[in-house]
Amino acid sequence: MTKQAKSIEWLDNKLYLLDQTRLPVEVEVEEQTSVEQVWDSIKQLKVRGAPAIGVAGAYGLVVAMRSHADADRATFLAELKTQAAYLDSSRPTAVNLSWALKRAVSAVESSSGTDGRTLFTALTETAEAIHREDIQLCKQIGENGASLITEGMGVLTHCNAGRLATSEYGTATAPMYLAHERGVNFSVYSDESRPLLQGARLTAWELQQAGIDVYTITDNMAAFVMQQGLIDMVIVGTDRVAANGDVANKIGTMGVAILARHFGIPFYVASPFSTIDLATPTGDDIVIEERGEDEVTHFGLRRTAPEGIKVRNPAFDVTPNEFVTAIITDRGIIEPPYDVNLKKTFG
């Protein structure tokens, strides 16, 4: 594999997925030779992150239809829909997956091609377009945010809103990758992000692979590195931005935002347009998923808390807009007042 392993690679009409379940201990890139294998890779979270799943699904459809290129149009379309429904069943809740599959199917349907080969070409081009657009979206976030990162800075991030969750660049990490490509030297402090450790397992790994100077810290060390003057800015991703600029993200984000405010450190949120939800008025309207107890009482398979102990395990928290310095989007950097400015750009 290349040092810069990508979550998804499409080379010589072959699909390669990085098995993220084995990171950071093993780096395994698997060629996907059958649609069943792609279904399994999505199901088993070998590929994860909503944008990445969408792209993998579209290519999965290409893999599925390869052997049908000799079919006539009717047969090809019928089989295409069957395979799309099959891939869609791998993770019913991942909206990007259904979206990408629907788009691929309708692109082929609207193609005038009368033979399987022409339709297969249309399918392949659509998958490549979905892939390209995802890369462009993240790259644009990076272009817009990269100038915020200047020589010698310390940047703190939480969880993984990185390249591994997308096809390339990521969201929170996009400004870092772009600044690094431009030769800016800076250090990243990556919270390990209990309970599931996406920061330690994924963010630290992908930044290290890219040659960016990165430190892993436990979540409760964030205040310490800020107090030591090591942090000049915070950049995090988001799962949903409300119309008033309240930001839902991985549990622990709000604490980092409050600490950043105390130490006078700017707190940035990186978000693609698709994550800004003007239909949600405020953070109070966002339901916080409470996950299983084992994530907190165990570490991997090892029990670390007593039998029968009660736990809380909110997967996310909501950072009030007052703590958000600006939101870095693919359509530019949005500053307060968010209720006005988000509507202006995304309404």
Residues 6+ apart with CB under 8 A from 8: 15, 16, 17, 18, 47, 52, 55, 56, 59, 131, 167
- The separation between CA 267 and the C-alpha centre of its own chain, rounded to angstroms, equals 19
Residue of 12, 279, 312, 344 interacting with a copy of itself (CB under 8 A): 312
CA–CA dist 235, 266 (Å, integer): 9
332 dihedral zone (left: phi>0; alpha: psi -120 to 50; beta):
left
**Contact set for a copy of itself, span 210-229 (CB under 8 A):** 213-225, 227
Catalytic hit among 191, 239, 317, 330: 239
Residue number with CB closer to a copy of itself (26 or 151): 26
Transcribe 115-157 into DSSP letters.
BHHHHHHHHHHHHHHHHHHHHHHHHHHHHHHHTT--TT-EEEE
Task: State the nearest-atom distance from the C-beta of 283 to a copy of itself, in Å.
Answer: 10
Residue number with CB closer to a copy of itself (20 or 98): 20
Task: State the nearest-atom distance from the C-beta of 143 to a copy of itself, in Å.
Answer: 28
Residue carrying structure tokens 């290349």: 2
Please give the helix or strand (H or E) that residue 208 lies within, else none.
Answer: helix 204-209
Residues 6+ apart with CB under 8 A from 163: 6, 7, 138, 169, 170, 173, 177, 206, 210
Tokens of 97: 């997956």
The mark string for 261-300 relative to a copy of itself (x by CB under 8 A, - otherwise) is: -x---------------------------------xx-xx
The mark string for 9-48 relative to a copy of itself (x by CB under 8 A, - otherwise) is: --------------xxx-----------------------
Residue of 195, 237, 245, 272 interacting with a copy of itself (CB under 8 A): 195
Size of the site for a copy of itself (CB under 8 A): 54
Q: Are 272 and 330 in contact (CB under 8 A)?
A: yes
302 binds a copy of itself per the rule CB under 8 A: yes
341 binds a copy of itself per the rule CB under 8 A: no
Please report, as ranges, the residues that interact with a copy of itself according to CB under 8 A. 23-25, 189, 191-195, 197, 200-201, 204-205, 208, 213-225, 227, 251-252, 254-255, 258-259, 262, 296-297, 299-300, 302-314, 317
